[in-house]
Chains A and B, each alone.
Chain A
Amino acid sequence: DGGITQSPKYLFRKEGQNVTLSCEQNLNHDAMYWYRQDPGQGLRLIYYSQIVNDFQKGDIAEGYSVSREKKESFPLTVTSAQKNPTAFYLCASSILRPGLAFHGEQFFGPGTRLTVL
């Protein structure tokens, strides 16, 4: 089955430690995204990538880093510089080429809930 996987589902870390969240997709999608969601709030874009070895900052990139070495993978590192890292993190992907059936649709993974103690 095609889809997006995120691991782990729950993650606990001590304050001051870097942590990397995994995101893998086998949908052959070009674009991938990372969002953060706080309780009762909408989603905020952290980083996005349109192509391998290229990525752009979203609205709240400070304290985060990403890499896109493979089309299928877009890991997110939450660094110790992120002041309030406890949140629900969502990864998504989408097709870039307009004219296809689902243009504009983003497919989301199940999310990783990060708690920093």
Chain B
Amino acid sequence: DAKTTQPTSMDCAEGRAANLPCNHSTISGNEYVYWYRQIHSQGPQYIIHGLKNNETNEMASLIITEDRKSSTLILPHATLRDTAVYYCIAHPEPQGGSEKLVFGKGTKLTVNP
């Protein structure tokens, strides 16, 4: 898996967009970018993943730069419940085997009232 770099922590005001950056400058062509989040003392939760194109689902949007060396997870209207550690992971497309995801330290996002 390519190494990913994220800021240690970020703050966001409630109701505003939270933009979480991730650098993955050594990402290879077959590696997807996955985002998970972990609310305190719970198991991580899958958010979104993408390869080249921008992706959007009910939870978030994922913007991947054209050179794929970085990406941004966007929570459009952050709420207090979005306070969590957010993990960015670069991982090859599953080939039918089990997926050994590498979770780094992530970004601690604090949404303030």
Chain A residue nearest to B34 in the complex (CB): A104
Chain A residue nearest to B91 in the complex (CB): A104
Cβ proximity bits B48-92 to A, threshold 8 Å, 1 near / 0 not = 010000000000000000000000000000000000000100010
B102 surroundings in chain A (CB, below 8 A) = 42
Report the count of interface residues on B (CB-CB < 8 A).
25
Chain B residues proximal to chain A, CB less than 8 Å: 32, 34, 41-46, 49, 87, 91, 93-106
With A42-B87, A42-B104 known as contacts, the answer to whether A49 contacts B44 (CB < 8 A) is no
Q: How far is the CA of A40 from the CA of B41 in the complex (A)?
A: 11
A90 interface residue per 8 A CB criterion? yes
Which residues of chain A from 83 to 117 have any CB-CB distance to chain B below 8 Å in the complex? Answer: 88, 90-92, 94, 96-98, 102-111, 113
Which residues of chain A from 27 to 44 have any CB-CB distance to chain B below 8 Å in the complex? Answer: 30-31, 33, 35, 40-44
Structural contact, B94 and A103, CB atoms closer than 8 A: yes
Structural contact, B96 and A96, CB atoms closer than 8 A: yes
With A49-B98, A90-B43, A103-B94 known as contacts, the answer to whether A41 contacts B34 (CB < 8 A) is no
A96 surroundings in chain B (CB, below 8 A) = 94, 96-98
Closest chain A CB from B40 CB (angstroms): 11
Report the count of interface residues on A (CB-CB < 8 A).
35
A22 interface residue per 8 A CB criterion? no
Q: How far is the CA of A91 from the CA of B44 in the complex (A)?
A: 10
8 Å CB contact of B105 from A35, A41, A97, A109: A41
Structural contact, B93 and A106, CB atoms closer than 8 A: no
B34 surroundings in chain A (CB, below 8 A) = 104
A113 surroundings in chain B (CB, below 8 A) = 41
Chain B residue nearest to A108 in the complex (CB): B43
Q: How far is the CA of A5 from the CA of B97 in the complex (A)?
A: 23
Chain A residue nearest to B104 in the complex (CB): A42
A52 surroundings in chain B (CB, below 8 A) = none
